[in-house]
Structure 1
Amino acid sequence: MNSKIKSGIELAGIYAIFAFMAVIIIYPILWAIGISLNSGTSLYSSTIIPENWSLVHYKWLFTDPKSNYLLWYKNSMIVSGLSALISVGITSLVAYAFSRYKFVGRKTGLYTFLILQMFPVIMAMVALYILLNLVGLLNTLTGLILIYVGGQIPFNAWLVKGYLDTIPRELDEAGRMDGAGHLTVFVKIILPLAKPILGVVALFNFMGPLFDFILPSIILRSPEKYTLAVGLFNFVNDKFSNNFTRFSAGALLIAIPVSLVYLYSQRSLISGLTGGGTKG
């Protein structure tokens, strides 16, 4: 077979796969948008985008006294933002210590982090539930944040350490020759160079709690403490089984901003992930 024809067939096959995947990804999104614009409460419509579309459900989320959407949105931002911020701070310090210093238990600590990654936080949920109840943090955003931060450190430490290993140690030595201490080297030399991987950690640790349902549903009991995932679930449970349209509207309002941030920072995310893969 002619090489040009063969290359054309391969290229057409690649485009066909991309087109198929695009349909699988885009179609549910368009359907969710159409449901959110449906003026009624029906889950089904004759067209993806209703002919008589309306923003009534979006208006209800922000203006109706019975809607706690803004409160849930604020709770989600608090939990996700603080989880990402605290995780980045702790992870960067832990990863810097394992990357730059030799100390007793270093290898054991790294292997412990590796093993802990194999067990999801949900496996220890009973113990965590009892612990939070004993210390009075059950049904609080603080308790939820602590669980997220603790569960994120093992994976993040490995990820950031791999990236820090690629930063030449000569930069540390040059800083110390100029009179910089350990903290100064970390803050003024290492952190600026580690921005790509820290951005990856921050974004992943922000998105995880934002879309998580299982942990908040176990820990949070009061409606005023709900995060968005738990709050929106009330629109489609047995009591509010006809509010799929409001559920779609609320879900889109949180998914679209996060997607835009992800697309905007895609180049930095790729550089951060690939940079840490060159040396372990």
Structure 2
Amino acid sequence: MNIKFFKRIELGFVYLLLIIVSIFVLLPVLWIVLASLQEGNSLFSSTLIPKTLTIKHYVALFKETDFLLWYWNTFKIAIANMIISVVITTLTAYVFSRYNFRGKKATLISVLVLQMFPSFLAMTAIFILLSKLNLLDTSLGLILVYSAGQIPYNSWLVKGYFDGIPKTLDEAARVDGAGHLTIFLKIIMPLARPIIVLVAITNFMGPWFDFIFPTLILRSQSKKTLAMGIFDWVQKGANDNFTMFAAGAILVAIPITILFMILQKHIVKGLAAGAVKG
């Protein structure tokens, strides 16, 4: 009886803690959503729920700024980086996980050492390299920087997951006549879906929120990303229009929120498996 009582107390404490954390997380989000829908330019309201709700700040955001252009530029860079990064990462991790070759250990150690250095240290070199290749002020140059920068960490992460998949499955498929590409696509990839989803969403989020590298590489008004565009907009005096800025913040958060809601199960599995396998 005492054990059951203490278990109920423990369970109640856990639920109480989760409720408190949820309140702290959701209240700022609710505040920004309501602020983006209220009249005027101030984020503050005399009532918890504004008396008058309007979507004019969202309409003004598209009419008075190039928000839609910034959104599209960022979206296509994020999607391209996600696809290229997943392809490069999975192929690299598969080679290191399933093949034995001369220099494998040294290469893995080199990759591990490379990921210890922040990418900001290479900014000057990246700028000069892209300048020599005539890729400055291009979306392709930015995509190449993002795709190359994710290889060290994500390759190690995915390799750890691939190492946890029994090699006997490969051998059984090989006996049945399957080639390396068939094994990779039909056996490894379906089993590695959680870690692939995790890599995909993290590589989508990187360009979506990044400000430093787009500022370094992009120059034209027509090439600006969301971070660059919103920063310039605020610099020009839009910091007085907080409700319109709140509307922009909500629109920026929508794709990431949708992705997390759809892929939540795979993301959790990928985080847990990638952390303990290998």
Using structure 1 for the length normalisation, give the TM-score.
0.91
Structure 2 residues without counterparts, runs of 5 or longer: none
Partner residue of 1:99? Answer: 97
How has the CA–CA distance of structure 1 residues 47 and 104 changed in structure 2, closer, same or farther, with 3 Å as cutoff? Answer: farther
Counterparts of 1:33 and 1:267, CA distance in 2: 26
How has the CA–CA distance of structure 1 residues 237 and 44 changed in structure 2, closer, same or farther, with 3 Å as cutoff? Answer: farther
Structure 1 residues without counterparts, runs of 5 or longer: none
1:232 and 1:251 in contact (8 A); partners too: no
Counterparts of 1:257 and 1:47, CA distance in 2: 30
Partner residue of 2:252? Answer: 254
- Structure 1 residue 15: Cα displacement: 3.2
Using structure 2 for the length normalisation, give the TM-score.
0.91
Greater relative contact order, per chain length (Cα 8 Å cut-off, separation 6+): 2
1:79 and 1:209 in contact (8 A); partners too: yes
Q: For residue 155 of structure 1, what is the amino acid of its counterpart?
A: Y
- Structure 1 residue 4: Cα displacement: 5.4
2:108 aligned with 1:121: no
- Structure 1 residue 165: Cα displacement: 0.9
Q: How does 1:38-187 map to 2 (within 5 A)?
A: 38-62=38-62, 64=63, 66-187=64-185
Aligned residues with identical type, % of pairs: 50
CA shift digits 1:212-267 (9 cap, x unpaired):
22222222222211111221223322532213222211221131232122022111
How has the CA–CA distance of structure 1 residues 101 and 72 changed in structure 2, closer, same or farther, with 3 Å as cutoff? Answer: same
Q: How many residues align?
A: 278
How has the CA–CA distance of structure 1 residues 121 and 257 changed in structure 2, closer, same or farther, with 3 Å as cutoff? Answer: same
> Which residue of 186, 193, 201 maps to 1:188?
186
1:213 and 1:230 in contact (8 A); partners too: yes
CA shift digits 1:44-77 (9 cap, x unpaired):
3223432112100111233x1x421111111111
Partner residue of 1:27? Answer: 27
Counterparts of 2:10 and 2:179, CA distance in 1: 57
Counterparts of 2:237 and 2:61, CA distance in 1: 18
Q: For residue 52 of structure 1, what is the amino acid of its counterpart?
A: T
Counterparts of 1:239 and 1:228, CA distance in 2: 17
Q: Which structure: greater helix fraction?
A: 2
Partner residue of 1:268? Answer: 266
RMSD of equivalent CA atoms: 2.1
Counterparts of 2:16 and 2:193, CA distance in 1: 37
